[in-house]
Amino acid sequence: MTIVYVVLVLYMRNGWMKLPYFHPGKFIPHSKVTVIIAARNEEENIAKILDCIGSQEFPKEQLEVIVVDDHSTDKTGEIVLSYANQGVKLITLNEGNKLNSYKKFAINKAINVATGDVIITTDADCRMGPKWILSIIQYMETENKLMVSSPVCYDEEKSYFERLQTLEFLYLIGLGAAGIGNGNPTTCNGANLAYKKSLFFEMGGFNGIDELASGDDELLLHKVAEKNADRIGFCKSIDAVVYTDAKENLKSFLSQRKRWASKSTKYKDKKVVILGVSIWLFNLSFLLSLLFLIFGIYDASELVLTSLFMKFLVELAFLYPILNFVNRKELLWKLPLLTVIHSLYFVYIGIVGNIGKYDWKGRTVK
């Protein structure tokens, strides 16, 4: 299983290295863009992201911003309304408790009234640089892509735990980018996802995946990849990065990862399933071998240490160019610890993410 894992990670590293760096040019794209933000109780964050979008180096006449207030009980809606003079539009949901996937419903409702040719989704707790939209749309047009995934990174960490999350999260972002680089899109992040509005309707929107609370990003990506894998791109540009915050404590971190893992029950692409299961089985076998060694069930210390060392080396080889891309190479000092604890967390999430319910934004969903 260690050999399988090493081969898989090296294959994914090759996918990342295949992706060319993209540098925004001076030309103005012709596409009109609608940025959609589904927000629930985000009064502490919503103004920051609207200010970031308002500072974009992108023609104002080609930019539309729609915020969907998902039953907020704070001042989120009021703050959004204060940006109406800057062209920000507000949609307020009033659906009660009859839905399981409020976010997909919110995005779908916004897309139905959007005037943009291209939809970009992001989250209310995100931040981005002034060339964010410009870089994504230039890349989409020059590379003739229908869907574009772009980097997401944690920053402004306040603790060692949050910095560990940044390293682990960049591993996940790297896997998603690498899959696209290899021509087999597997994962993306809805905090930084762009696609043609016409493509969304052509794919039937969220039909078939709308009963699951999560999956407005990955499951939509999989639908598109079934017919248009070669028209999905990854904008490997530092200008396209969206920044957000890590979770403050273990409980909220596990809840988030459980929500992300719940999407795997709807995966239809066998290659994606095989990749996920193979990585999970390796981590399970590694963890069990480590436990057997600790409790003296069998003495295979050389084998376990060799497996651990190979795991560390291949993850170092994979993460180094990604950390170099986002200028966070100092996080590599945390890799030895993450190499060990990642297996425990990965096995746990792989189990609980596929059973039961979880809390999200004050709701219990499945």
Q: Which residue has the higher pLDDT, 229 or 293?
A: 229
Say what the pLDDT of residue 357 is: 62
CA dihedral 179, 185, 189, 190 (to 10 degrees): 160
Say what the pLDDT of residue 362 is: 59
3-state secondary structure of 35: strand
Picking from 296, 264, 258, 290, the residue whose alpha carbon sits closest to that of residue 277 is 264
Say what the pLDDT of residue 166 is: 96
Q: Please tell me the least confidently modeled range out of 261-275, 278-292, 304-318.
A: 261-275
- The tens digit of pLDDT for each residue in 72-125 reads 999 999 999 999 999 999 999 887 666 667 888 899 999 999 999 999 999 999
- How is residue 106 written in tokens? 């919110």
Q: Is 295 exposed, middle or buried (0-12, 13-18, 19+ CB in 10 A)?
A: exposed
For 20, 45, 112, 149, 216, the CA distances from 127, given in Å and listed in that order, are 24, 9, 25, 16, 20
Q: Which residue has the higher pLDDT, 293 or 8?
A: 8
First and final C-alpha spacing in the chain:
31
Q: How far apart are CA 365 and CA 142, in angstroms?
A: 40
Say what the pLDDT of residue 139 is: 97
Q: How far apart are CA 124 and CA 45, in angstroms?
A: 6
Max intra-chain CA distance, the chain? 70
Say what the pLDDT of residue 94 is: 84
Quote the CATH superfamily of domain 22-159+184-249: Spore Coat Polysaccharide Biosynthesis Protein SpsA; Chain A (3.90.550.10)
pTM, entire model: 0.90
- The tens digit of pLDDT for each residue in 217-233 reads 888 999 999 999 999 99
Q: Which residue is it, tokens 């930019």? A: 63
Q: Which band of pLDDT confidence, cut at 50, 70 and 90, is reported for residue 359?
A: low
Helices (H), 22-159: 46-54, 76-81, 102-113, 132-142
Picking from 220, 147, 171, the residue whose alpha carbon sits closest to that of residue 8 is 171
The mean of the pLDDT values for the chain is 89
Residue 158 has pLDDT above 90, yes or no: yes
Say what the pLDDT of residue 218 is: 87
3-state secondary structure of 138: helix
The full set of domain ranges for the chain reads 22-159+184-249
Mean pLDDT, residues 3-26: 93
Q: Is 81 exposed, middle or buried (0-12, 13-18, 19+ CB in 10 A)?
A: middle
Q: Please tell me the least confidently modeled range out of 149-158, 265-274, 299-308.
A: 265-274
Beta strand extents in the chain (DSSP E only): 33-39, 63-69, 88-92, 118-123, 127-128, 147-149, 152-154, 193-196, 232-234, 242-244, 358-360, 363-365
Say what the pLDDT of residue 232 is: 97
* Phi, psi angles (nearest 5°) of residue 68: -105, 115
* 133: number of Cβ within 10 Å: 26
Say what the pLDDT of residue 366 is: 56
Picking from 217, 30, 16, 238, the residue whose alpha carbon sits closest to that of residue 137 is 30
